[in-house]
Every structure is written in structure tokens, then in C-alpha cells.
Amino acid sequence: MKKKKTSKPMTWTRFKRFIPLYLMVLAPIITVFIFHYIPLAGVVMAFKNYRPSIGIWGSEWVGLKHFKAFIEYPYFWRIMRNTLVLSLFSFITFPMPILFALILNELRSKKLCKTAQMVTYAPHFISVVVVCSMLRLFIKEDGGLLNIIIEALGGTQKDFIAESSAFPWIYTISGLWQGLGWSTIIYTSALAGVSMDQIEAAKMDGANRLQVIWHVNLPHLKPTIILLLIMKMGSLFSIGFEKVFLLQNPLNLDVSTTLSTYAYNIGLVGNQYSYSTAVGLFDNYTGSKVKDFF
């Protein structure tokens, strides 16, 4: 009677066969562990009175002292308002990629469509620093392109970057310009899957181009729109740091100070490491709760 082979040799054989794949996965695992898990140990700094001379673990434990201090900060609600306003301003641009994808889909000239796609995709690959530098050149009071146009139309030049009321619009419009083309890729791909039979049937029933868009194209985009809308709502408080910080100046701080920029200024500039860690943790916690809600 033959002995039944154990599974160990077979398991080792399979393991050796897939060693190259395991090695390929090893690098991302190590990267995630180093940059996402090891830094979590530093979160404890928010609950301590950190002193660089004695380190994180030797510093005094103060519990929720820094969180309480931030909530009692006189400008706490202003910071929360600024963060929410910029988030909502960015959110109202959500339908624009849908509209632009529908326009591209209706263009008769393929050459014109490709040119429009290339022109609108290009800003996505420009760094935030370059975008902010371009914005400052376009809207500056002395010789800015926008002010030149306003003056040619009979208006007066303004320093838009210094006006508090203009900052949310500058932030939103620049974000729309930079991300519009890239955001349309998913919708354009979804529109490519629309059945031509449905479109021809709608036209035979007397539907014009707008009716085809409303009754054929938009229903086909509905699942994609709902999915991306949920993802957009989940990142409602995640407005980022770089662009807001680079567009800040002393004249617009009352509307441009957000949770992320405040944590940077109070931490790296003011050297209040524990307090800034608490603010950053509060920012991340708020954003995670918004994601959980949606």
C-alpha cells in the first residue's frame, strides 16, 4: 500500500514557484510599513507634552490637553469655517467634468476632440508650485493678465490675491482648470460603452441631440456618477495643504487659514509639536468621520 504524500513538499514546491511574485510584492509591503505604520507611533505625541531633549516616550503624558486647547482657541470656528468653505467650493465643481465629457462626446470632429482633450489634460501634470506661481502672475495687480483685460474693458485693477472674498474663487477655479480634463477620463470611457443601437433607436423615435443626452447618455453614466459622488463626499474635508499654503499672504489669512496650514504654522514654525500633532490628528479624525458617514 502506497503511503499518502504529505502536503509539506507540495507547499514548498508552490512557494518556490512563486518566489519572484513574492519578491515583487515585498517592496510595496515594506514601503507601506515604513511610511504608513511606523509613523503611527508618533501620534502619541498629541497626548504628551513633547520635549525634544527627552524624546516622545520620556515626555509627560497630558491626555486631551492639546485637543481641549485647540477647541477653546478663539479662532477655532474660523479655521473650521475656512476648511469647510473651501471644501464646499471645490465640491460644487463636481458636475463640470460630466458636462465636459458630454460636450466632447458630441463633437463631430475627432481632431477637435483630441485637441480639446490634450489641452485640458495637460494642466493635471503641472506641479502645484508652478500652478500657484502662474496664478500669481495672472492675477497680480501690476501687469497681471486678468487686470490688463479688466483695465481694457474700462475697469480698475485690483490685487485679487489680497482680497478675502476672492480667495475661495481663486482656489476653486484654479483647481477646476487643473483637474477638469483628467476628471473627464472616467466619464468619457463610460460614454464609449453606450450602445449605438439605443442612440439610433432614440433618433428614429424623433429624439434630438439634447434628448439623446438626457434619456440615453445620462442614464448610462448614472452608476459612475453615483460612485464618484460618494467618493467625493468622503473626501469633503481633505482639501490638501500645498495650494492653500502657497496662495496665502498676510492679507487673506482670515479666509485661507485651514486645519492643515494651521497645524503646519503652529508646529514647524511655532515649534509646538504636540499641539500641532493634536490639530493634525483632529483634522484626520474629522475627515475619517465624514467618510464613514457617506
What's the pLDDT at 289?
55
Q: Give the count of beta carbons closer than 10 Å to the beta carbon of residue 45.
A: 20
What's the pLDDT at 238?
73
Residue matched to cell numbers 463626499? 233
For 29-39, b where at least 16 C-beta lie within 10 A, e where not — what string? eeeeeeeeeee
pLDDT per position in the chain (294 positions), as tens? 455 555 455 577 777 888 888 888 998 999 999 988 888 888 888 899 888 888 888 888 888 899 999 999 999 999 999 988 998 888 888 999 999 999 988 887 888 888 888 888 888 898 889 989 988 888 887 878 888 888 888 888 888 888 888 899 999 999 899 989 888 989 998 888 888 888 888 888 888 888 888 988 999 899 999 988 888 877 776 777 889 999 988 888 899 899 889 988 888 888 888 898 888 888 876 665 555 555
Give residue 19's Cα distance to chain centre.
37
Q: If we measure between CA atoms, which residue out of 287, 180, 176, 171 comes closest to residue 236?
A: 287
Distance from C-alpha of 48 to C-alpha of 66, rounded to nearest angstrom: 9
Evaluate whether the domain defined by 69-293 bears CATH number 3.40.50.1110: no
What's the pLDDT at 9?
56
Burial of 66 (0-12, 13-18, 19+ CB in 10 A): buried
Give residue 198's Cα distance to chain centre.
36
CB 159 within 8 A of CB 143: no
What's the pLDDT at 10?
58
Distance from C-alpha of 225 to C-alpha of 233, rounded to nearest angstrom: 12
What's the pLDDT at 29?
92
How do the domains of the chain map onto residue ranges? 69-293
Among positive and negative, which fits the CA dihedral 223, 225, 226, 232? positive
What's the pLDDT at 141?
79
